[in-house]
Structure formats: structure tokens, C-alpha cells
Amino acid sequence: MGIQLVTGYSLWLLPLCLAAGAGYAAILYYRNKSEDFSRSLIWFLSVFRFLTVSLIAFLLLSPMVKTIIRTKEKPTVVIAIDNSRSMVMGPDSVFVKTRLQEELNKLSSELGDDFTIANYTFGEEVKPEDSPGFVDNLTNIADFFKQINNRFYNRNLGAVIIATDGIYNSGSDPAYSVRNVSYPVYTVNLGDTSQHRDLLIKRLNFNRVAYKGNRFPIEILVQAFEAAGETSRLKVVQDGNEVFTQEIRFTSDKQLLAVPVMAQAAEAGKMRFRITIEAIGGETNRSNNSRDIIVEVKDSKQKIAIVSNAPHPDLAAIERAIGNSNNFETQLFNAENFTGNPADYSLFILHQLPSVSNPATKLLGEITRLNIPVLYILGNQSDISGFNNQKTGLSLSGYSNSFNEALPVFNNNFPLFITSENLKHLLQGVPPLLSPFAKYTLGNAAYVYANQGIGATVTAMPLIFFNQSPDRRIGVIAGEGIWKWRLADYAKNSNQTAFDELIGKMVQYLAVKAEKSRFRVSAREYYAENENLEFSATLFNESYELINDKLVTIDITGEDKKKYEFEFSPVGEAYSLNAGNFAPGIYSYEAKAETGTGVLKQNGTFIISALNIEDVNTVANHRLLNTMAKFTGGEGIAPGKISALASIIKQRGDVKPVTYARKRFTDLISFYPLLLLIITLLSAEWFLRKFHGSY
């Protein structure tokens, strides 16, 4: 630790401080005669006053003590275990369950004196723990390295040890994720690299939604390993009834067959199918021989008309986002050539209509007369005066053909539908929309989804909002350029899932017929078994004002008739519930709201789909692990050599402690001993003068 005295002004001023002290002492005591004080006493008093004034003058230079504190940080070694189900499907499953943790604990003890140990598990998500249950349904090795790089950024990360079978089924190729790391990766290569005899349902291609009266396809991909000359039977069973069967003969030891099946959507509702390939002799892994799927049969698709003033990239982005939904069918029109019957559509998306060149009076009149929901998108061709006449719940005044670049600022109290964390993160990093510069006035029935952020200022002006009248629902995106959000989603997440969610939920909310019910519950129709069940609810009083001070509960019932009871929590003006994970299957729910004068109820159903990805491939990928280790300067080792990793890492010259220097500045004026010294000098001078009969 080093100490240094520094000042806010030049130290060349220090002689002036001493001169000030000497001058003050000389003026004060020069005229004192020897009969008042002795010569020695005058000398002592002068010294006291000289020191006092000099110190006070020195403090005016803002002196500080600079302390350099050096700390030594031991290198961190991350030890991570694959928590996925495939880890206990191989012949070494006994070792993985009973001894792997013990061996890694011994390794941690051997490294503990020289290194900081950080334990993690990974699979579906990365967790800071050292006790895996081997229950995760996905393995994302690339995400593990991404998380480690973020958590140990600018830290002394010495090495990473991962115990895994190298099988990944989510995320990107982990070999790419270690290309730019600065630490060695050591892999404990678990699992069996041998391909055993196995028949499996590798993949099922189907639409989750079919329509009543139609036949719909299910494509079954059957994978066979080491089964040349064997015969098996493929069966499709619907709700306990066999609807398809076919004998399959395998002609090679590695064969992939695609079997098409046509099913009939006879009645609206949910249809469960079990697809099974019968096991053959010598097959050890039979958990991947069957897959379950659920198809929802609906009466018909809802039609959505996207009508624009002119071609624009927003149109394609919105059309593609809606096209990923099985519930809607889109049609794209230019306002001048719209020939459809407005009554055939559940929703109109009007891009920059009415416009300065096309008021679209006839179309807008029909839409209003028929009470069809509308999503308006404003832009530089919009006729703002004509828009104000549409009774959307938003009025723009003072518009002078100028625009702002407006960023979305999500409203955390938005009650109409649930927004995922992934979408919230996307909204924090999307480009701005081009929004009309005007005074925005909202009606009382408006629900703001996102406000406009102008520069660093969050305004009260809405960027996206919804308005619900007794007759229909209206939404407004007060800016053009939303196509850039779809590109930003892909750049950030390598997909457009979040953007599609935004458009999909907006469309779903608007296209559904406006409910007159005072109690409404919102939930997804499909969940994966590793996703949490999330519900939102809104409750209105007799005056149709939002309230959330009443008890709201929900009963969820599975196919086995087992009931699960939950209570909603008030959030903002609405209610929210996270019910956690449920097993795959078809569930129904009944939500209840106690109003004081009665009980309001809402019913619904949802589907939880099984994730069988871990069963599909159980062949360990040691080649990948060895490549990752070699590329980073590490090493891939067998489970029996885990203890050798301690000496290997300790012998590395590049894994060593790092010394950090930190500067700390302390104002000398807050140094109490110095203040005490000044007070002591003044007190001593005062005492001697009083003692010898002077003031």
C-alpha cells in the first residue's frame, strides 16, 4: 500500500502558507515587550501561532491523501455439470448419479487453496449450484459459455471444467462459442459414443391447429440404427383408437424414413395422438419409441385485411408475423384496389390510412358501420385530420408535418395481455419509429402499451395503445418503421419470436370479439413442459372501471381429474399468476372473482406439449468436446482422470493470481488528528497567554 500527499492547487503555494503563518505570528507578537512575556514565552507563542495559521492556510489548498491499495485476486475455476436427462441414459449412468459429484468435490478441495471455485449446472438454463438432478429437457452448451463470459467479464477466470456428454439440442454450435475465450476449457467426457441398436420417432411434422371437416397431414420421421433386416410396426392411436398402422422393414444400419399419415378433423376440440414404433430385439433405449402430439380442431380461420396507402416494408413484416399463427389468414390490399367484403374480415390493419392522397372514406365508413376492429399505423402519409375523425381514443393537435424519432417505453402496468421477458428485452433495444410531432390527447378508455421515448426523455405520448368501446376494439401504432424491429429481433436473438409475439398478441386481442363480461382471463393455448404457466386477469366494477382489490382464484384440472388451486396477485390495475410447471397434457381451468355481490367465472383450456428432445439422441459427442478443449488450450479427459485436473491446472503458467491497484483519496480536512492538532495549538496559546496575565 502506497501513500502520497496531493493538493488541488500547486505545491508551489506551500511557501506562501508558511509565509502567512510567519507574518501573522510576527504582527501579533512583535510589539510584545519583555515585561509582559519572557523572551522564551514569546518564542513559544509565536511558534504556536505560526503552525496554526500555516496549517489552516495549507488546508485551503484542498490537500488530499492518495492511498494506493493493492489486492490480489486468485484465479477462478468454474466447474459445471450438464443437468440434462441424457446424462443418465448411458451405460455410465451409475457413475454419473453416484460418483461424479464426489469426484468433482474432491477436485474442488484440491484446487481450493490456490483458486476460487465457482460451481454451476447447465441444461435448459445456467444455475449457480453444484447438485444436479439430471432432469432438464434441453441442453444448451453455447448459452452456458455466453453466461460465463458475461458473469466473469473483467474477472480473473483461470479455467472452465465442464462434465457433459457433449449432446446439445438447443442453441448454436458450442464449438463457435469458445473461439474467442481467453481461458482453457477442460472437458470431462461422459456418456457412450457407441451407436447401439435403436428405433426412434425422430421428429413429427404437423400443424397444431386443424379445421373442422378437413383432413390434415402428420409426417412421421422414423430413425433406425443397427437395424438392417429387422421389421417393426408403426402405429398411430387417437384417443385410444388405432387410426393408422404400417409395417416397416429396415434395409440398412442407419436409415431415416418419412411416413405420411392423413388424419380427419371430424369435430371441433382437442385431439390427442400417440405415435409408436414397436421395439425390436436388443434395443436398450425404448423411451424414444413413442411420441404424443395434440392437435386443436377449430371451426374456421379468422381473416385479417392489411390495407395500405402505398407499398411499405412494414406490411411484409406484419404479414409474416401474423402468418406464423395458425389462427389467422391474412390478405394484403392497396386502398385503391380493395375489392373484398369488409364483413368477411375479423380485423383491418390500416397502414397510413386515411392518407393525404386517399381518404378511404367508403372503406372506413363500412368498417365503422360494421363495428370491425381496426389497427391503425400512422406515418408521414397519414391524414392526421382524417385520423382524428375516426374516434380511436387518440386526438393529435398542432401537427405541422414534422416527426419525432420515438423509442418504445414499455408500460409495466399494461393489463390487457401478458408480455414475455424476451419481448420486453427486445423493446429496450429496437430502432425508433417515425412518429408525428403533435400534442397527443388520450380518451379515458385507452390502455397504453408503450409510451414514446424521445432521446433520453420518457414522454406521456403513446406509441402503442388500445381503446375499447362497447362495440369494438381499436389499436394504434403511432409511427412507421416497425419492420426494423423484426430485423433487430433477428440480430439480437437469431429469430423473430419476440416480434411475432408482439404482433400476434396485438392481433389476437383486437380480433377477438369484445367481451361484455366484467371478468376476463388471458392465457396462452400452448405451453412446452419446461415453460411456466402464466395467466393475467382483469376485473371491472358495475361502472366498467378496472379494480383489483377483490379475491381472484383459479382451479386447473388435468386429464386425470386432479385439481390445482391458485390465487391471483394484484399487479398494477389487473391481476397476474405464475403457476409454475405442469406435466404434458390437456388442462381445463375455471377462474373465479369474488365481487362482493356475487361470483364471476371464466373457463378455458390449454395444452402442454412434451419435450422429448433428450430421448432422440443419446450418443455422446466426445469429438465436439475434444475440439473445444484443444481449441482453447485445454484437454478432454475420461471420468476416471478427474483428479489429474488439479495438477494440470496448477502447472499452467498462465493461470495465476492478478494484482489490482485501487486508488483512494481522503480529504485532509476530514483527518481528525490534524484538526485536533490545530485546536491543541490554539488552546495551548490561549492558556499560556491567560496564565501569564494577557488576553
SS (H, E, C) 389-437: CCCCCEEEECCCCCEEEEEEEECCCCCCCCCCHHHHHHHCCCCCEEEEC
Nearest partner of 499 among 347, 329, 321, judged by Cα:
321
Cα maximum dimension of the chain = 131
CB count in 10 Å sphere of residue 533: 21
The 8-class DSSP code of residue 125 comes to S
DSSP string, 330-353: EEEEEGGG--S-GGG-SEEEEES-
Enumerate the β-bridge partners of residue 304: 330, 347
Parallel, antiparallel, or unpaired: how do β-strands 157-164 and 76-82 relate?
Answer: parallel
Strands 563-567 and 552-557: antiparallel
Residue 81 contacts residue 121 (beta carbons within 8 Å): yes
Rounded to whole angstroms, how far apart are CA atoms 76 and 154?
Answer: 12
Distance between CA atoms of residues 401 and 384, nearest Å: 9
For residue 197, which of 224, 220, 221, 222 has the smallest C-alpha distance? 224
The reported pLDDT for the residue numbered 1 is 59
| DSSP state at residue 241 | E
What residues of the chain score a pLDDT lower than 50? none
Query: φ, ψ for residue 437 (rounded to 5)?
Result: -85, 115
Structural domains in the chain plus CATH codes: 2-69+664-691 (no CATH), 75-179+620-656 (3.40.50.410), 198-298 (2.60.40.10), 302-511 (3.40.50.880), 519-613 (2.60.40.2550)
User: Do residues 611 and 636 lie in contact, with contact meaning Cβ atoms separated by under 8 Å?
Assistant: no
Distance CA 103, CA 82 (A): 15
Write the CA distances from 355 to 97, 379, 432, 472, integer angstroms.
67, 9, 22, 23
Alpha-carbon distance of 317 to 325, in angstroms, equals 14
Helix (H, G, I), strand (E, B) or coil at 384: helix
- Grid cell for residue 302: 379468422
Residue type, 386: G
Burial (CB < 10 A; 0-12, 13-18, 19+), residue 661, is exposed
Residue with cell 480473473: 156
pTM for the structure as a whole? 0.60
User: Which set of grid coordinates corresponds to residue 389?
Assistant: 375523425
Q: Which three cell numbers stand for residue 206?
A: 404437423
Phi, psi of 414 (to 5 degrees): -65, 125
E runs forming strands in 207-320? 209-211, 215-225, 231-238, 241-249, 254-264, 269-277, 290-298, 302-308
Provide the 8-state DSSP code for 640.
G
Strands 231-238 and 241-249: antiparallel
What the block records as the C-alpha cell of 641 is 482422470
Residue whose entry in the numeric block shows the C-alpha cell 409408436: 276
199/277 Cα distance (integer angstroms): 7
| All residues at 6 or more sequence positions from 223 whose CB lies less than 8 Å from its CB, including other chains | 198, 199, 200, 201, 202, 255, 256, 616
Beta carbons of 314 and 340 less than 8 angstroms apart = no
Give the span between the Cα atoms of 53 and 49, in whole angstroms. 6
Distance CA 459, CA 482 (A): 19
- Spatial separation of the C-alpha atoms in residues 147 and 426, rounded to whole Å: 18
Q: String of b and e for 571-602 (b: at least 16 CB within 10 Å)?
A: eeebbbbeeeebebbbbebebbbebeeeebeb
> What is residue 234's predicted lDDT score, i.e. its pLDDT?
95
Tell me phi and psi for residue 449, to 5 degrees. Answer: -85, -40
Please name the helix (run of DSSP H) or strand (run of DSSP E) that holds residue 23, with its range, or none: helix 14-29
As a dihedral over the C-alpha atoms of residue 82, residue 84, residue 85, residue 88, rounded to 10 degrees, the angle is: 0
179-214 pLDDT, tens per residue?
889 999 999 999 988 888 889 998 888 888 788 888
**Which parts of 595-657 are beta strand (E)?**
599-609, 635-637
Letter for the amino acid at 101? Q
Q: Of 78, 61, 163, 168, nearest to 117 (Cα)?
A: 78
Contact 173, 142 (CB under 8 A): yes
Q: Please answer whether residues 477 and 432 qualify as being in contact, where contact means their C-beta atoms are separated by less than 8 angstroms.
A: no
- What is the structure's pLDDT at 2? 67
Axis-axis angle for helices 313-323, 483-493 (nearest 10): 60
Chain-centroid distance of CA 691 in Å reads 77
Exposed e or buried b per residue across 388-407, where buried means at least 16 C-beta atoms within 10 angstroms of its C-beta = bebebbbbbeebeeebbebb
Beta-bridged to residue 375, according to DSSP, are 349, 475
Which grid coordinates are listed for 263? 388424419
Rounded to a whole number of angstroms, the distance between the first and last alpha carbons of the chain is 47
